[in-house]
Structure 1
Amino acid sequence: MSLLDIKNLSVRFGDVTAVPVVDGLDLSVAKGEVLAIVGESGSGKSVTMMALMGLIDAPGIVSADSLQFDGTDMLRLKGRQRRHIVGKDLSMIFQDPMTSLNPSFTVGYQIEEVLHQHMGLKGQAARQRALQLLDRVEIPAAASRLNAYPHQLSGGMSQRVAIAMAIAAEPKLLIADEPTTALDVTIQAQIMELLVGLQREQDMGLVLITHDLAVVAETAQRVCVMYAGQAVEIGHVPQLFDAPTHPYTEALLKAIPEHSQGQRRLTTLPGIVPGRYDRPQGCLLSPRCPYVQARCHQQRPPLDAHERGAARCFYPLNLTAEVA
């Protein structure tokens, strides 16, 4: 059984007739697996995971046929029941470390609060465990950082504190939403090495939301490519990188700067991701797709399984005629 199993997830803002920003998403994560979710800004990557965490407030509407985490239906949980899972077995690292920490409290207090809520630790026991966590995420002079406030830390240090809080209760699934966006290149590599090391050490599932395809190639076992709220391709690494089956995945890979060496201009995909009020009738990629055909403008393709994963395309690439 999968650790995480999402079936037909939709997220709308407004009412049930509003155009979904996440549209009929199916997704699964196994224990100990690293799944990367990639796509342009506005593709619904972060909203998907926020829906799982119960962080979509009104006027947001979340619906799904199944939103199962470790055998528990997350849609049926009420506040107190959800808090027993979220932050403990299911945890999330947010994009901006400088805003995910409370500026009014010390680093030590915030870590100890997590330990008290989910592990029942208090006093010296919580303090000692907080110190161990700071050591675990490789913060130098950890003891002196316990009494520091977030504004006294660098971006890299703040992200390490956020990671320490996220792993404090040893979660079964960790969601990392663009965990290196606000950091410089050298710190990015350190944070990713730290995350992957923790994932392997604890054998936890890891959902990595990122724009960095190089990081995906190095760390993930599977990839979900999202476009305009839909999963357009799901596949394994390295097969998806070697032979993408969806035109959008191919365009993302071609846009990697290294692939444009020797050319006057970087390779790009013309146009923009459609919004809520300008979605095409057929395939959502059809206005931008270099392989578009008449059928693509009229019908919206389903996510169909194939020999190496699944693709939402009537004319998938790099497949034999029998499979396509």
Structure 2
Amino acid sequence: MAALLTIKNLRVQFGAFPAVDGVDLRLDAGDLLAIVGESGSGKSVTMLALMGLIDAPGRVTADALEFQGRDMLRMSAAERRKIIGREIACVFQDALSSLNPSYSVGFQIGEVLRVHLGLRGAALKRRVIELLELVEIPDAARRAEAYPHQLSGGMNQRVMIAMAIACGPKLLIADEPTTALDVTIQAQIMALLLRLQAEQGMGLLLITHDLAVVAEMAEAAESARAGSNQVAVMYAGQVIETGAAPAIFEAPKHPYTAALLAAIPEHNRGAQRLAALPGIVPGALDRPVGCLLAPRCGQVQPRCQSERPALLTGVRCFFPLTRNSEHV
């Protein structure tokens, strides 16, 4: 049986700069895959490539970029439009800028239903209200007439989720879905995504920079359903560690994963300073010859500076950490 999503050797180039550099990912129906990394790691660009949203001068190549066995790279724009928004849906990170301020939220949800399912009239209005109720928006009939600026950030994010699940997608991509929301609302949105995934049997691909969010979601998903919970850590366009949650949090193998975990505030209670990884993700002009993390890694050795490691047994590192290793 074909995987829901298969990505092999995906590359996205902007000129000579590899924004995504040989990424391999797989997601099965009903599973959760979290892609984690700092801003500039290539997480969102990977998903934009999947949806055909990389414009010139960007160039996308892959050995495989398949959704349910269908080649997303070779299909026409018209064929892709039938899939994106219906079978593959995305919740973007800033709901207020993603929604159109000139139309009510009900109209915008209805537009998805009109385009992909052909709904009209009373059936359309009824389905819009059902979707708003499904994402736990109170007084749904009245809120459907509201404009984005009249709703809170959390409510607008729920509207985005309602739009995304309107056609019963098989794959839901959540790109930093809790950005700019307070902690209480973040937890509610994450719980909502997990509930909808469990009820509708969707594959859920979560993109985030926050490992704490992934750990909480994986723990909640573990107790709620039987699906697999996987994590892929990205750095500078490459997947540098993959593993099952929560095992990857308990025993990270890559120094970068360990550094991300060490920076979680809960792990710094009683410390004078929050643990931090020095430096920034390399760009087009400062890409190292060897391991891409070498200039920032506290465990760097001469080999790391001259050779680039491959992803072997789930980790891209010549000197992976063990349970007794010190974190970066």
Pairs within 5 Å for 1:1-324:
1-14=2-15, 18-220=16-218, 221-305=229-313, 310-318=314-322
Number of aligned residue pairs: 313
Distance in 2, Cα, partners of 1:267 & 1:291: 16
Give the deviation of 1:294 after TM superposition: 0.9
Residues 89-143 of structure 1 show CA distances to partners (whole Å, capped at 9, x for unaligned) of 1000001000111111111111111011111211111111011000000111100
1:76 counterpart SS class: coil
Distance in 2, Cα, partners of 1:224 & 1:102: 33
2:295 counterpart SS class: coil
2:10 counterpart SS class: strand
Distance in 1, Cα, partners of 2:103 & 2:322: 54
Moved over 3 A (4+): none
Gaps of 5+ in 2: 219-228
TM-score, scaled relative to structure 1 = 0.94
Give the deviation of 1:230 after TM superposition: 0.5
Identity %: 65
Assess if the C-alpha contact under 8 Å between 1:97 and 1:162 holds in 2.
yes
Root-mean-square deviation (CA, aligned residues, Å) is: 1.2
Assess if the C-alpha contact under 8 Å between 1:9 and 1:23 holds in 2.
yes
2:80 counterpart SS class: helix
Residues 47-92 of structure 1 show CA distances to partners (whole Å, capped at 9, x for unaligned) of 1111111111111111111000111100011121001100001000
Distance in 2, Cα, partners of 1:230 & 1:157: 34
Give the deviation of 1:231 after TM superposition: 0.3
TM-score, scaled relative to structure 2 = 0.93
Assess if the C-alpha contact under 8 Å between 1:34 and 1:219 holds in 2.
no
Assess if the C-alpha contact under 8 Å between 1:2 and 1:29 holds in 2.
yes
Give the deviation of 1:147 after TM superposition: 1.4
Matched AA of 1:239: A
Distance in 1, Cα, partners of 2:320 & 2:3: 27
